[in-house]
Amino acid sequence: MQSPTFLQLCDRRITRVGARVLDASGGLVSFLRFCFAVFTQLPRAARDFRPARDQMYQIGITSLPLVGFISLFSGAVAAWQAAYNFADYIPLRYVGSAVGKSVMLELGPVLTAIVVAGRVGAAMAAELGTMAVTEQLDAMKVLNLNPHRFLLAPRLLAALVMLPLLTIFSSVVAILGALAVVTTFRDLPAETFFFGVRLFYADWDLFVGLLKAVVFGGWIALFGCYFGFHSRRGAEGVGRAAMAAVVFANVAILVSGFMLSKALLR
């Protein structure tokens, strides 16, 4: 049998790349349409607040222990690293400044979002994916019940509200963890540490951090709902949907975090 020529191999490669580009473009268009359909139902979800309230409990309250634990040690590590880098060069009173800035702008929003994406985003995708493969979503449509209104919009609204609140909690716990480290192991008075935190504090930094949290919450809910809503092929499809929701949400969190920092911090 004659082996394929170089031009035939190139043609096959180009065909495969083109097919993948078309698939990615189709997926992007489908995701944008999905986002539009969910956002148009947000006002109704806000008026009928009970489903969103239940989702707020699942997203926010049940995530507090894990977010608090990770934030505590993240702040402790940030303080220890700052004190190590400042040794013999910069006074330790500026450790509070470094920790406060990093926690409000990056550590608080990003770590909280990644934790919630891994915990809540996967749960959303799995729950909705199970409903999709067992035809519960089709049953809702037959009964003239809009899944975007009753299932998806409440989750998005809850994530948009709870991520900033979790970020505030995370930032406070991280600063307290940093305080415990510098006062215990570096003999830095608490008053000096908080003086450093207040020294370069700006309301704009807090606003940017909370804005990031809102955007990250939207990504977590949208990807979790999208992949769960379009899940197919039984249990295997549900597992793939949960994995895709976490991966895409984490990538979107990091990319959008950089873009927001670049646009708002000059």
Domain limits, the chain: 73-264
Q: Which of 229, 193, 212 is nearest to 37 (CA)?
A: 229
Mean pLDDT, 10 residues at a time, the chain of 266 residues: 62 73 79 94 89 92 94 93 84 88 92 94 93 89 88 95 96 95 90 90 92 96 94 87 95 96 90
pLDDT of residue 1: 46
pLDDT of residue 64: 94
pLDDT of residue 63: 93
pLDDT of residue 201: 87
pLDDT of residue 7: 67
